[in-house]
Amino acid sequence: MDLRDLYEEIILDHNRNPRNYPRHPDGTNRRAEGHNPLCGDQVTVNLVVDGDRIVDVGFEGNGCAISTASASLMTEAVKGMSVADAEALFERLHALLTDEHPVDPETIGKLSVLGGVKDYPMRVKCATLAWHTLHAALANAGDPVTTE
């Protein structure tokens, strides 16, 4: 199986069966909303943060397959992480998708399949929406996030 097939398989699986969706975990103490006006994707990220650790995470909303799959993959990746590690993962994923600087795929594990989105530049915002929303929730920012 080549990387493109793996990308498509994982995106389709997480879109059909999103993890941690729809989910508003008990004890949610950080939350943010995000919107991609270009295609209409909307996501709300709900977090339970205890000290510096993300104890639980869920998301709600609607969007395209890439947006939903990215949010699903994100929730699996950050649950149990420290806030600092989740922020660092956000930075590495964003760099991977936007080519800001080279990223070793090993540093982001199975999230590296999202790198396939680079082949579809109009979809990068779909893939990063949940991540920007997570970033806002971790910062306890009150304003909705937009990809524009």
What is d(CA 16, CA 3) in angstroms, rounded to the nearest whole number? Answer: 20
Whether the Cβ atoms of residue 35 and residue 16 lie closer than 8 Å to each other: no
For the whole model, what pTM was predicted?
0.93
Cβ–Cβ < 8 Å for 79, 91: no
**What secondary structure letter does DSSP report for 43?**
E
- In the chain, the domains with their CATH numbers are 3-146 (3.90.1010.10)
Determine the pLDDT at residue 59: 98
Helix axes of 124-138 and 83-98: crossing angle, nearest 10 degrees:
160
What pLDDT does 1 receive? Answer: 56
pLDDT of residue 27: 92
pLDDT at 104: 84
How confident is the model at residue 2, as a pLDDT?
65
Q: Side by side, which strands form the sheet with 53-62?
A: 53-62, 41-50, 30-36, 145-146
- Which portions of the chain are predicted below pLDDT 50? none
Question: What is the predicted pLDDT for the residue at 5?
Answer: 76
Q: Are 133 and 44 in contact (CB under 8 A)?
A: yes
